Amino acid sequence: MTDVRVLVIEDEEPLADSIKYNLELEGYEVDVALGGNSGLRKFKEQDPSLVLLDVMLPEISGLDLCRMMRADSDVPIIMITARDSEADKVTGLELGADDYVTKPFSMRELLARVRANLRRHEMESGTPNLDEEVLTGGPVKLDVGRHEVSVDGEPVQLRPREFELLAAFLRNRGMLMTRDRLITEVWGMDYFGDTKTLDVHIKRVRKKIEPNPKAPRYLITVRGLGYKFVDD
């Protein structure tokens, strides 16, 4: 079983400590951030399984943080709201939070919410891949569900990242794909590695799909901006 990591973003230190203590008793790995900036940093670094997020925070508000996290991630987010702040609850849910607890709450209630949200998320992401999407472009046919690629009807073997990369191009045929977008789509928002990695993968994909990889006809470079996949 992989470790379940919970990120607690809460500036009331005694409350944060108490939450951490109780979650750790349940076997979760817990990290605490006492402000918005450190919360966002830890979120990006640690890729937590669930986030507990106070609405009233210094530096960045919990609602803004929620919006930022939700832009790139479907991690379960439970907002911690103050009593009588109905507006915060509604806004939080509208911004993509999954659930909320209202101060003061019992640890028992909080743990129940954490468990329920983790379970729901696990079920949703554990759904078997029934994807029947088949993408085509030029001589290339890419079957997402079967994880198969052919060029002019001949099967070719792609590594997982090469496959993702080619799929991203075929889904956006004819469109400029910037380097940033490709890296985000294929390697994820938290990728901080060398961007040369992208060029290496482009080269490998070209070798597998282009009649002449040195003079690409389909996967072409848009100088200074990125790449695009074009039909003949």
Cα gap 201→160, rounded to integer Å = 11
Closest CA to 142 of 110, 118, 165: 165
Cα gap 156→54, rounded to integer Å = 50
Q: What is the x/- site pattern for Ca ion, positions 124-163, by CB under 5 A?
A: ----------------------------------------
Examine residue 56 and tell whether it contacts Ca ion (CB under 5 A): yes
Examine residue 88 and tell whether it contacts Ca ion (CB under 5 A): no
Contact window for Ca ion (CB under 5 A) among 54-62, 137-145, 206-214, 220-228:
54-62
Which residue, judged by CB position, is nearest to Ca ion in the bound state?
56
In contact, 206 and 149? CB cutoff 8 Å:
no
Cα gap 90→78, rounded to integer Å = 13
Among 54, 88, 98, 162, binds Ca ion (CB under 5 A): 54
Tell me the number of residues near Ca ion by CB under 5 A. 3
Residue number with CB closer to Ca ion (54 or 210): 54
Q: 3-state DSSP call for residue 4?
A: coil
Spatial neighbors of 228 by CB under 8 A, at least 6 apart, are 169, 172, 174, 175, 176, 177, 219, 220, 222
* Residues across the chain: 232
Contact window for Ca ion (CB under 5 A) among 40-48, 49-57, 169-177, 214-222:
49-57
Spatial neighbors of 119 by CB under 8 A, at least 6 apart, are none
Residue number with CB closer to Ca ion (39 or 226): 39
Residue number with CB closer to Ca ion (32 or 219): 32
Residue number with CB closer to Ca ion (11 or 210): 11
Examine residue 93 and tell whether it contacts Ca ion (CB under 5 A): no
Among 7, 11, 168, 183, binds Ca ion (CB under 5 A): 11
At 181, list the tokens. 């977008």
Rounded least distance, CB 77 to Ca ion, Å: 16
Contact window for Ca ion (CB under 5 A) among 11-19, 32-40, 92-100, 165-173:
11-19
Q: 3-state DSSP call for residue 78?
A: strand
Cα gap 190→196, rounded to integer Å = 16
Residue number with CB closer to Ca ion (4 or 16): 16
Residues that bind Ca ion (CB under 5 A): 11, 54, 56
